Amino acid sequence: MRIQVLGTGCPKCKTLMANAEAAVRAAGVEASVEKVDQIADIMKMGVMITPALAVDGVVKSVGKVLSSEDIRKMLVAG
């Protein structure tokens, strides 16, 4: 599983990154968490508002900071 946090480095983006990493640990799933901070790459994914979260290339959340529990539920649900 590949989790991407899309954002340019604002405090909300950093919080979402930390929450995503915590969610992976809590869910016990095999996943990589990566930061996408280049605006061109973010826009290629169709995201205009950050922070955003994508799982396996599919954008799941835009413009808000999901809690680690919300992300964990998303990961275990598939």
Which CATH number does the domain housing residue 15 bear?
A: 3.40.30.10
pLDDT in tens, 20-78: 999 999 999 999 999 999 999 999 999 999 999 999 999 999 999 999 999 999 999 86
Known catalytic residues?
10, 13
pTM of the full predicted structure? Answer: 0.93
H or E element, residue 12: helix 11-27
Residue range of the domain that includes 49: 2-77
- Indicate the number of domains in the chain: 1
pLDDT in tens, 62-75: 999 999 999 999 99
Q: CA-CA distances (angstroms) from residue 42 to 22, 26, 69, 73?
A: 23, 27, 24, 24
Q: 61 by DSSP, 3-state: which?
A: strand
What's the pLDDT at 78?
A: 64
